[in-house]
Structure 1
Amino acid sequence: MENKLTKRKAVEKIVFSILGLLMLSSIAVLGVIIFFIFKRGLGVISWEFLTSMPKNGMTEGGILPAIVGSFYLVSGAILVATPLGVFAAIYMTEYAKKGKLIRIIRIGVNNLAGVPSVVFGLFGLSIFVKYLNFGVSILSGALTLAIVILPTIIRASEEALMSVPDEYRSSSLALGATKWQTIKNVVLPAALPGILTGCILGVGRVAGETAPIIFTAATFFSMRLPNSVFSEVMALPYNIYALVATGTFPQKQIPIAYGTAVVLLVLVLLINLVAIFMRIKFSKKNTN
């Protein structure tokens, strides 16, 4: 018996050691990538780079239109996707009868989350740009990105709602509250940390998407900021792709691409930090 226990502990130590090495390897690879990008791009960063317009075919100047364009696209996507995703999760969790139909819907949502983003871009091109005649614009790009993150928000919201103990619902209903009052005043506040985390992580994802906006929103070069939802925009991820893949002056444009990559990485990192901070804050509030 003792030999079996000793052998089991030894196997457990080996497995945990392997997992630890894999984790450290992943962190090391990530660190090398970040170091490489920052080393190449940090020297480009300046106040003028962040706040000025591009010049001479994106060989000089700054990336202000790309920053503003990314902000508009991401803001529009989250404004559309968040209410749709949260209300869909509320319906599936709180109202729909558990059965085959809900299981099929969940499988569909999970499969939709695994669809390559370029497919969403083609869908946005066909429906929003061509069929609805929105053209290549902020509106088309934001709606396409909203579809990209909708499955993520639905699943995160659904998991957050299902994690709320049933005792909360039962106690509220026993006090005379209606179903909707229970959801609004009891269930949603308790699930809010998970819902917010899913939404903000969705923002972090679409901030770096390139394929969907190539077909629906992005332009390589613009000397002005967008003035309506039907304007084409520059965007940080597409700006990086265009400078590296199609730039005609690589010696001048590739450093700008690395600088843009640094800005994009910092923005995504800040978004993830906001998600962590908000989750901790609301978790503490619910605990108290």
Structure 2
Amino acid sequence: MQGVSVSSLAALASGGSCRAVSLFKDYLKLLNRSGINPMVDGSCFGRQCMLRLYSINTNRARRLDSRIGATWLFSGGGKKMDASIERSEATNEEIVVFFFQLDLETRIQYALNTEQFDVAQQLRNKLNEQEAKRGSSRSEAQDKALNLLRLRADLQKAIDNEKYVVAAKLRDEISKLEVESLAASAKALAYENAQYAYRLGEKVRHKIFGYRAVICGMDPICCESSSWMGIANVEKLSQGPNQPFYQVLVDVHDDPNLLVAYVAEENLSATEKPDLTRFDHPYVSFLFYGTDTTGDFIPIKQLREKFSRPRHEVPSMDTQDGNEDDNI
């Protein structure tokens, strides 16, 4: 994992997620309880980062949050949408937690290398807890299936021992879990079979607001809250919420206050030619390795695994020429 500067972390918290500061505070408490000194090299958090995060201008944060409520800006007789309606605190928080998980993995390996096995176990338990809370739909379906097997075994044991009251309670639990398991399996299948027009690390442009962005996550349908969908006018989209939605990092030169947005597929467009121009954002240093020959970003392995996306190989010039020849 690549290092993240203090200024990047300050931008991370001040760019639209007040929750990020709280997450950071809880994270530092964990490290203190674990006995690991967070004042280490650039690959991990430091106390200086914490001080910078806590010194965020709260008035500026309030101004940014107030922009979300301004769904429509009136200009003359018409209506003009504000890009802030697609700003997503949930997405920003998810990215911050993802970074914490990467840092936990680094610390676990460090603790193992230095034979701090108790500390490594504490950190591993915390990592498992985070993954369970924010795990993929696939792992959720697997967990519910395993729980069903366990409950059915307990039910049979209760019946054999003539503990019918216990058996009745277990039957109710099984019925409820079967419904949840079916829903989780359907969700996992939707994620597995989803077809996306864009890929992780690809540079795109917003069709309405015009800003440049890079894809850092995707969902087969809109997974935001109903209140967010109301603010973002999702029902006015031609395909509504039942289309892929993308987590995107917005170029700070295009909109320094938006930072992270959640955008419907129909509102994005790919660049016709390779985009080799500079793209700046505080998150790119830990979500991507760098850029490829076409200017798109190369996602780290953990990010590809999170969304079950294959590694993208840039076609060689010979392959491109061959394809052009075949189309002639």
Q: Same fold (TM over 0.5)?
A: no
Normalized against structure 2, the TM-score is what? 0.26
- Bigger relative CO (Cα 8 Å, ≥ 6 apart): 1
Structure 1 length-normalised TM = 0.29
Which has a greater percent of helix? Answer: 1
The answer to which structure has the higher strand fraction is: 2
